Chains A and B, each alone.
Chain A
Amino acid sequence: AQSVTQPDIHITVSEGASLELRCNYSYGATPYLFWYVQSPGQGLQLLLKYFSGDTLVQGIKGFEAEFKRSQSSFNLRKPSVHWSDAAEYFCAVTRSQGNLIFGKGTKLSVKP
């Protein structure tokens, strides 16, 4: 069955520290991978996506993610976290033009 696992429910980092959010997926075909961010009471904003090609992808707000096929992972990183990054982050997978399958999300808190 297709699934996405985000092992960390809640992460707290200090402002200025680096961040890595983990995502593992189970998918039979070549996946399209996404990271979305959701602020409280808001919809989802696309941070970045991987379809093919270079396995290190850059997104908005200084985020990047690396696709590792051998580990079935697509981890999200940011070198220096800002207080405004506090939100919930969702990893998602899909086939071409299909519906998204989301993980349960990781809530990020940022300490001043």
Chain B
Amino acid sequence: DTGVSQDPRHKITKRGQNVTFRCDPISEHNRLYWYRQTLGQGPEFLTYFQNEAQLEKSRLLSDRFSAERPKGSFSTLEIQRTEQGDSAMYLCASSGPGLFANEQFFGPGTRLTVL
């Protein structure tokens, strides 16, 4: 069990560019969550998947954001036409079936800076 991994750890981009982040959950975890954390705030929910199905999206997830989990394993989060307000830490978490279904394990995050 190598934990949740995220790539890249840091991303600097210019306003208007597209960016894509990747999250690899703990193997056999069927649920995967994306959160966004801005400075001085707690993480805020964006979306989550059960296997490959995207079951819930927050109103924070504007049309410029899209997430996928095509084979029920890793997930990608894409932001199109980035804005300075998108600068934040993007956190991924996963949870497994059974007894630990309600425990979410977090990755180290991807810090996005939009210039």
Contact = CB atoms under 8 A, between A and B. Distances in A.
Contact of B45 (A43, A46, A96, A99): A99
Contacts of A46: 103-105
B107 interface: yes
Contacts of B93: 44, 100
A43 B103 contact: no
A100 B56 CA distance: 13
B103 A49 contact: yes
A84 interface: no
Interface of B: 4, 31, 33, 35, 40-45, 48, 56, 58, 91, 93, 95, 101-109, 111
17 contacts: A43-B4, A43-B108, A43-B109, A44-B93, A46-B105, A49-B102, A90-B43, A94-B102, A97-B31, A97-B95, A100-B43, A100-B93, A100-B104, A102-B44, A104-B40, A104-B41, A105-B42
Interface of A: 4, 32, 36, 41-46, 49, 51, 90, 92, 94, 96-97, 99-105
